[in-house]
Structures are given as structure tokens and as C-alpha cells.
Amino acid sequence: MSAPFIEYVSQSVLEARKDELLRRGGLSLADLRSRAETYAVTPEQRDILDAVEDIDYLLAR
């Protein structure tokens, strides 16, 4: 049994990841969330939105 892996990430790294994800998604966060409410996103955009929301959780936003 191996020890769990914990990755410590700075706020600036998380914000950079979030910006890169949103660029890859091709929409603003507000547009992405709006389209997701009506199921008008691609699977990749849904994954991006989930990742961005996870980052926002870690940043306590």
C-alpha cells in the first residue's frame, strides 16, 4: 500500500489553470455556465466547466 499523493498548488497556479481552461473552452465562464444549464455544451466544455468549478472551490469563490 502506497502513501497518498498530495499536491500543493499556489493561488496563482490555480488561476492560471482556470484561465487556460476557459481559453480552451472558447467561452467566458458566465456563457459556459449559461449554456450548461440548457445542456448546450459539448462533453469537453462540460469537463472544462467541472474543472473550473473545482478550482473555484479550492480558491473559496
CB 23 within 8 A of CB 39: no
Render each residue's pLDDT in the chain as its tens digit; 61 residues: 788 889 899 999 999 999 999 999 899 999 999 999 999 999 999 999 999 999 999 999 8
Q: Write down the pLDDT at residue 40.
A: 95
Q: What is the pTM of this model?
A: 0.84
Q: Write down the pLDDT at residue 61.
A: 84
Taking the C-alpha atoms of residue 52 and residue 48, their distance in angstroms, rounded to an integer, is 6
Sorted by where each begins, the domain ranges of the chain are: 23-58
